[in-house]
A = this chain, B = another copy of it.
Amino acid sequence: MTGTPGRVLVTRGGETESVHLVDAVVVGLRSGEEARFGDPERTAFWRSSFKPFQALPIAADGVARALGWGPRQLALAAASHAGTSVHVQLAVSMLADAGLGPADLECGTHPPYDREAAEEVLRDGRSYSPLHNNCSGKHAGMLALAVHHGWPTAGYIEWDHPVQERIRRGLDRWLGVDPLALVWGRDGCGVPTACLSLRRMAVAYARLGRAAAAGEEAPAAIVDAMRAHPELVSGPDRPGTRIMEVTGGRLLAKGGAEGVFCAAGPTEGWGLALKVRDGASRAAGPALVATFEALALLSREEVERLAGIARPPVLNVAGAEVGAIEAELRPVTGPATGQP
């Protein structure tokens, strides 16, 4: 059922300059209903919102136990990190734990997302490396999984490498569908990423959160690690990090490229997925917080503390506020279509 999409308005001097359209669905609400706006059947690549599931085998197969990895390492394995020195050093140590080094990473190089960190690298006469890639923790985890099982490390990003096969095995439990029935593409960091409906993403997050809340070992290890170390999962002032910080880890939130965002309330049992149709990440945070607020999934105090994510200012180059980004959306609540 397709409804009116959410809108995120970018204003300048009181006028609307640009508009983003957003689809979303929240499944597993306490009422037994689901909430949605736009088209929950719309498909999108899962991108980095897939990461908690890509990290599961590290906990499930005993890699973390064997290497002495705790919540910090597991959080980074599920992270889209900002490339600060904290993130980079942790990735280095994870590779070293597996007997490997940065040269084994196949994620490619991009500057740290954190602008200060990026500038510092060049000022210090160093160069960007795959360690700065926001996915370096995920890749370190994948490499450790390969070493643990005695698989070759080269080519671990390829579709038919045992690492990627292992990640796909067991996905049907979360997705409710054989992963081979989905369309897959290549993610920005080179690994396979699935194309699936927002409803399926939301169901997967609801199921993962519930499994963690029920104390199941591997899901709890990943979900609790992310909620315990939100600053490792993304970076300062990023929507996912702020939401997990402000809620004291009651919520799980993980964004992805092209305007995808997923979240879960593990104890409450719900799962959420949204996608900005045009792929703009600037619209995802405002849409996410507005959805939480509309469905009373945040307390009033939490909403207030997330004002900077819900309504970020548009600044000009000199730093003056010339407008704002703000969501206008109204979730419709109704009978659940899927089974979370």
Contacts and interface: CB of A to CB of B under 8 A. Distances in A.
A284 to B, nearest CB: 12
Given A12-B45, A183-B13, A259-B18, A188 B122 contact: no
A265 to B, nearest CB: 27
A107 B13 contact: no
A277 B18 contact: yes
Contact of A316 (B18, B125, B187): B187
Interface stretch (A53-61, A94-102, A318-326): A318-326
A280 interface: yes
A316 B318 CA distance: 32
Contacts of A10: 258, 279
Contacts of A277: 18-19, 278
A323 B186 CA distance: 9
Interface residues of A, number: 47
Nearest to A8: B278
Interface string A80-122: 0000000000000000000000000011111000000001001
A109 B279 contact: no
A18 B122 contact: no
B318 A107 contact: yes
B278 A320 contact: no
Contacts of A203: none
B15 A317 contact: no
Contact of A186 (B12, B119, B188): B12
18 contacts: A12-B186, A13-B185, A13-B186, A13-B195, A14-B183, A15-B45, A18-B277, A21-B278, A107-B317, A107-B318, A119-B122, A185-B323, A188-B316, A188-B317, A188-B322, A190-B317, A278-B280, A278-B283
Interface of A: 10, 12-15, 17-21, 43-45, 106-110, 119, 122-123, 125, 133, 183-190, 195, 258-259, 276-280, 283, 316-320, 322-323
